[in-house]
């Protein structure tokens, strides 16, 4: 019976609507201004009543519907932690123990006692240059010096006994001292014909072959290198002169080796180069395995700023308003069901490192900051927290 009543009511409703439409049309066709105004007022009243009824229905649905349509977000808690900022620069590997050895004496290179790749000790003989007869002259002078020494000793014994003249004693003494100095000077000349290692290391290259004529201070004989005391040298812009000091942390990466090491600044120069406004910095390299070679290129990350109690947040959650102010959203008045209200917080920021940035003001420790969903919420809007992180970020020291 209910179904029949429903079916019968549909045509009646359509007929009523059709009649109403016919009535409106007939009024329009009649051209009666007063009737048209009256019909319009009637329709406006009906529309207002319908809107009020819809509002009442929506309020009733909101009270009965337990599932609220609020944005779902994740949050992080602002926490103080140590923040180390690094700037990047390039440098080259070098060593103070890298030397191309040249002779101190002109002559023929008669002997080369070492080969490429050979390890040598400090003071070890590496090569010999023909001394051109200096050894024979030295032997003759040593004989004369021995005679002068004997004469002087005898004259001294006689003079001590008040025998002989003082002038004879003084002449013997002067002759002995002159002969001794002549021997010492010639020994120094002969020593220059012997090429010795100034420090311990490895013979990297033998440049001049045995039998060649060499010139003092000009002809390169061999290259000696020690890989134990390596360092990276770089030129740092003058704006970092207060921040880059001895002992600062450094991360050195060698792209060719695929290797990164943690080290520190061992020396920072005090001189600013006026040509490029930079100062030199040396960074020590632990190189026990001798894998790092001179002239390798290194990418450096040098610590120029450290804060012991910094608040860090991801850069991706920061927005900017029309005035150029930066802001994030925090969650306030969160209840037991993790529902709260989004609040816009104006912040000022400092240095960035990777994907995080230091907040200088606006956020206090313990504040719950919206992370995922930060760009889809509005100020004072209800939100629901679906994931909560204890720490804002991880700072790699």
- The last residue of a domain, from among 249, 280, 302: 302
Q: Which of 342, 348, 339 is nearest to 320 (CA)?
A: 348
Residue 357: pLDDT band by 50, 70, 90 thresholds?
very high
Share of the chain above pLDDT 90, in %: 51
Lowest-confidence pick of 25-29, 58-62, 75-79, 246-250: 58-62
**Residue 66: predicted pLDDT:** 52
Per-residue pLDDT tens for 10-24?
A: 343 334 444 455 578
Which tokens go with 166?
């003082």
- Mark whether 121 and 189 lie in a shared domain: yes
Strands (E), 33-97: 72-77, 80-95
- Mark whether 208 and 109 lie in a shared domain: yes
- Mark whether 113 and 184 lie in a shared domain: yes
pLDDT of residue 239 exceeding 90, the answer is yes
- The residue among 93 and 388 whose pLDDT is bigger is 93
Residue 269: pLDDT band by 50, 70, 90 thresholds?
very high
Spatial strand order of the sheet with 125-129 comes to 194-196, 125-129, 107-112, 213-214
Residue 63: pLDDT band by 50, 70, 90 thresholds?
low
Neighbours of 23 (CB within 10 A): 11
Per-residue pLDDT tens for 112-132?
A: 999 999 999 999 999 999 988
- Mark whether 200 and 251 lie in a shared domain: no
As a whole number, the mean pLDDT across the chain is: 86
**Residue 388: predicted pLDDT:** 63
- The residue among 66 and 43 whose pLDDT is bigger is 43
**Residue 37: predicted pLDDT:** 84
Domain encompassing residue 217: 98-224
Give the HSE-up count for residue 129: Cα atoms under 13 Å, Cβ half-sphere: 25
Residue 1: pLDDT band by 50, 70, 90 thresholds?
very low
Predicted TM-score (pTM) of the model is 0.61
In a domain, 9, yes or no: no
Query: In a 3-state reduction of DSSP, which class is residue 248?
Result: coil
CA distance 331 to 387: 13
Lowest-confidence pick of 143-157, 214-228, 376-390: 376-390
- Mark whether 52 and 76 lie in a shared domain: no
Q: How far apart are the first and last CA of the chain?
A: 81
Burial class (CB in 10 A: 0-12, 13-18, 19+), 144: middle
- The residue among 28 and 364 whose pLDDT is bigger is 364
Q: Going by DSSP bridges, is the β-strand pair 278-285/230-237 parallel, antiparallel, or unpaired? A: antiparallel
**Residue 10: predicted pLDDT:** 39
CA distance 298 to 256: 9
pLDDT of residue 195 exceeding 50, the answer is yes
Q: What is the mean pLDDT of residues 334-340?
A: 86
**Residue 314: predicted pLDDT:** 92
pLDDT of residue 392 exceeding 60, the answer is no
Q: What is the mean pLDDT of residues 66-94?
A: 86
Neighbours of 149 (CB within 10 A): 16
Q: What is the CATH number of the domain that holds 257?
A: 2.40.30.170
Q: What is the CATH number of the domain that holds 359?
A: 2.40.420.20
Cα angle for residues 229, 232, 233 (degrees, 5° grid): 120
In a domain, 394, yes or no: no
Residue 68: pLDDT band by 50, 70, 90 thresholds?
low
CA distance 317 to 375: 7
- The last residue of a domain, from among 302, 330, 362: 302
- The last residue of a domain, from among 170, 190, 224: 224
**Residue 64: predicted pLDDT:** 67
Q: What is the mean pLDDT of residues 147-152?
A: 89
In a domain, 3, yes or no: no
């Amino acid at each position: 019976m209910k179904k029949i009543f429903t079916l019968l009511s549909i045509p009646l409703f359509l007929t009523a609507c059709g009649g109403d439409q016919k009535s409106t049309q007939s009024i329009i066709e009649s051209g009666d201004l007063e009737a048209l105004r009256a019909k319009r007022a009637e329709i406006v009243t009906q529309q207002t009543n319908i809107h009020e009824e819809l509002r009442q229905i929506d309020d009733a649905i909101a009270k009965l519907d337990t599932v609220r349509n609020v944005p779902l977000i994740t949050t992080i808690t602002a926490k103080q932690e140590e923040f180390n900022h690094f700037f990047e620069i390039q440098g080259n590997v070098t060593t103070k123990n890298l030397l191309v050895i040249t002779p101190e004496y002109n002559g023929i290179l008669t002997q080369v006692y070492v080969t490429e790749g050979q390890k040598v000790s400090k003071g070890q003989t590496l090569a010999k240059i023909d001394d051109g007869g200096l050894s024979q002259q030295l032997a003759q002078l040593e004989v004369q010096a021995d005679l002068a020494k004997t004469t002087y000793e005898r004259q001294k014994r006689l003079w001590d006994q008040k025998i002989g003249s003082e002038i004879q004693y003084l002449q013997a003494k002067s002759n002995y001292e002159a002969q001794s100095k002549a021997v010492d000077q010639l020994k120094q000349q002969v020593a220059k014909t012997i090429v010795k290692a100034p420090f311990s290391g490895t013979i990297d290259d033998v440049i001049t072959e045995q039998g060649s004529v060499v010139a003092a201070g000009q002809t390169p004989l061999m290259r000696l290198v020690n890989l134990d005391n390596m360092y990276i040298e770089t030129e740092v812009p003058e704006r970092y002169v207060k921040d880059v000091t001895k002992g600062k942390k450094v991360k050195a990466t060698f792209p060719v080796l695929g290797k990164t090491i943690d080290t520190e600044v061992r020396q920072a120069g005090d001189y600013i180069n006026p040509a490029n406004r930079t100062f030199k910095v040396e960074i020590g390299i632990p190189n026990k395995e001798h894998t790092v070679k001179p002239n390798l290129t290194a990418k450096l990350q040098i610590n120029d700023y450290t804060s012991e109690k910094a608040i860090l947040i991801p850069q991706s959650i920061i927005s900017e308003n029309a005035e150029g102010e930066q802001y994030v959203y925090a969650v306030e008045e969160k209840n037991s069901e993790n529902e709260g209200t989004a609040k816009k917080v104006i912040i000022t920021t400092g240095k960035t490192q990777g994907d995080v940035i230091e907040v200088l003001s606006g956020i206090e420790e313990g504040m719950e900051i919206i992370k995922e969903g930060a760009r889809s919420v509005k100020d004072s809007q209800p939100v629901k927290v679906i994931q909560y992180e204890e720490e804002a970020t991880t700072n790699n020291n």
